């Protein structure tokens, strides 16, 4: 080791053992943490004026970005019309209204998934044997229930008592607000006749806003959901899974007698999704309601952006693998950043 390097290192060690030097360094670090804009505050007035001019430009950028997202919403509405015939056919296949042709059922796997003709023929024979042993199912049974159970965000909402009801779910659609109307979208859940409720369609409406907040324009990061409205479910007698009856024993303080009291309380259920907390005019919510709405908005966006357009890939699990790959890549990138010096 060169002598000068050794001396420098020795000097550094001695400095770091000096309480006065350590205190000065700590004070300096605290100052940096507590006053991140210290440099800005130290600038001459004329420079601060120019910075203010840049901030005004940034506000105008946010206003342009808001218009951009409004036009994106218009494009979504336009292309929803083009997607609808495909979604209609998907609905017909799932619900045994339309039987796809041999050509429509032909699917060529990716190159890495290709197998020999001999193995294909063997698999085909085995599938035919299985089909002979089973009753001929109609359409694709339990399609949407399977999608829900495959996605963690949705499966956490689905309770065991919800599953028999969700087997009757025929379709999920998204409808966008008309041109010139405030930004919003409606999720429609279409059910076949069932023993649980009389509604054919359950709806959830999300109201959106795409404009910077005057009090904090720099926080604008695209459209935000301002509120949502569910719908009334017309439950048949004794079939409301969002409520449960509990029995509690109460002891009389004076006589010591015991009586059993029956009480109806709320029950965990996917169908609570259609009864979100109401946002008061003041906009103030308690922590629980705020957490419920935040999760609700995330679910609404996920259904609209991912589940409805790509439902078959969540049914098969392929989209879930893609989502996991996305997270893995982000994790790897984060690791690289952490360990790069």
pLDDT of residue 209: 84
Report the DSSP beta bridge partners of residue 259.
250
User: For the domain that residue 301 is a member of, what is the CATH number?
Assistant: 3.30.1120.90
- Domain membership of residue 130 (yes or no) is yes
Compare 31 and 217 and report the one with higher pLDDT: 217
Asked if residue 2 is part of any domain, the answer here is no
pLDDT at 302: 96
Say if 320 falls within a structural domain: no
For residues 329 and 86, the model is more confident at 86
Domain membership of residue 189 (yes or no) is: yes
Flag whether 8 is in a domain. no
Question: 265-320 pLDDT, tens per residue?
Answer: 999 999 999 999 887 766 677 788 788 888 999 999 999 999 999 999 999 999 98
Max CA distance (Å), the chain: 93
> Is pLDDT at 21 greater than 80 in this prediction?
no
Mean local confidence (pLDDT), 207-222: 83
CA 305, distance to chain mean position in Å, is 9
Answer yes or no: is 10 within a domain. no
pLDDT exceeds 50 at position 340: no
Residue partners of 162: CB distance under 8 A and separation at least 6: 241, 269, 270, 271
pLDDT at 27 (0 to 100): 64
Residue 316: inside a domain: no
- Phi, then psi, of 80 in degrees rounded to 5: -60, -35
DSSP code of 224? E
Name the pLDDT band for 337 (thresholds 50, 70, 90): very low
Parent domain of 136: 15-102+114-309
Look at the chain and report how many structural domains it folds into. Answer: 1
The model's pTM:
0.74
In a domain, 329, yes or no: no
């Amino acid at each position: 080791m060169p002598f000068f390097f050794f001396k420098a290192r020795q000097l550094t060690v001695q400095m770091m053992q000096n309480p006065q030097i350590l205190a000065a360094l700590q004070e300096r670090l605290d100052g940096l943490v507590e006053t991140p804009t210290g440099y800005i505050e130290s600038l001459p007035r004329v420079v601060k004026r120019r910075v203010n001019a840049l901030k005004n430009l940034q506000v105008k950028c946010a206003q342009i970005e808001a218009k951009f997202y409004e036009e994106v919403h218009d494009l979504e509405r336009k292309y929803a019309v083009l997607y609808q015939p495909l979604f209609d056919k998907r609905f017909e296949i799932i619900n045994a209204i339309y039987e796809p042709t041999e050509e429509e059922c032909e699917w060529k796997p990716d190159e890495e998934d290709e197998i020999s003709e001999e193995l294909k023929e063997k698999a085909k024979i085995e599938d035919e044997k299985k089909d002979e042993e089973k009753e001929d199912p109609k359409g694709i049974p339990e399609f949407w229930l399977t999608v829900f159970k495959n996605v963690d965000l949705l499966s956490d909402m689905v309770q065991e008592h919800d599953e028999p009801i969700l087997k009757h779910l025929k379709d999920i659609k998204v409808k966008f607000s008309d041109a010139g109307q405030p930004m919003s979208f409606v999720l429609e859940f279409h059910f076949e006749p069932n023993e649980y409720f009389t509604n054919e369609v359950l709806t959830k409406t999300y109201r959106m806003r795409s404009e910077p907040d005057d009090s904090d324009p720099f926080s604008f990061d695209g459209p935000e959901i301002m509120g949502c409205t569910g719908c009334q479910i017309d439950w048949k007698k004794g079939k409301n899974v969002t409520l449960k009856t509990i029995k509690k024993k109460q002891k009389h303080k004076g006589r010591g007698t015991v009586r059993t009291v029956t009480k109806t309380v709320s029950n965990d259920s996917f169908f609570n999704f259609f009864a979100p907390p109401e946002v008061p005019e003041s906009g103030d919510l308690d922590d629980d309601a705020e957490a419920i709405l935040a999760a609700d908005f995330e679910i609404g966006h996920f259904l609209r952006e991912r589940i409805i357009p790509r439902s078959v890939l969540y049914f098969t699990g392929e989209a879930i693998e893609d989502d996991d790959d996305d997270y893995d890549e982000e994790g790897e990138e984060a690791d690289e950043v952490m360990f790069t010096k």
